Amino acid sequence: MKNKEQSSLNVNRPWGYFRVIAQGKNYAAKVIHVNPGQKLSVQSHNHRSEHWVVAGGIAKVLLRDNEFMLHVGQSVDIPVHTVHSLSNSFDEPLEIIELQMGAIISEEDIIRYSDIYGRV
């Protein structure tokens, strides 16, 4: 059970939630929790790269035109301007540690190409 302070730091999204665990001028680190059967939008970023490490569950990753699975302890680098997505096709929650790096670290730096929740 999460304590009240911890749960108030979660930013809810239709696919689950994220929580910023560290932030500086040119970086942010997040825990991304993807609920079973959910998917983030197909997107890219103009100002940041990302590094994902699977902390729990199995991640289905789209990177450019390639789809592949990542298991606990595996990681992937997502360069600036690269089309990518993340989904959880399994029954267990997916947890990713995401490190964002760039000149501008902002939730506004998302270009959506497709989204199952109608946010394009």
Residues in the chain with pLDDT values less than 50: 1-5
pLDDT at 7: 55
pLDDT at 8: 61
pLDDT in tens, 10-25: 999 999 999 999 999 9
The token duo for 78 is 């997502």
How many domains are there within the chain?
1
Look at residue 67 and tell me if it is in a domain: yes
Look at residue 120 and tell me if it is in a domain: no
Look at residue 80 and tell me if it is in a domain: yes
pLDDT at 3: 45
Which residues lie below 8 Å from residue 84, measured CB to CB, with a gap of 6+?
A: 42, 43, 44, 50, 61, 62, 63, 64, 78
Which residues lie below 8 Å from residue 80, measured CB to CB, with a gap of 6+?
A: 45, 46, 47, 48, 49, 102
Look at residue 69 and tell me if it is in a domain: yes
Residue 44 belongs to domain spanning: 4-114
CATH of residue 73: 2.60.120.10
Look at residue 119 and tell me if it is in a domain: no
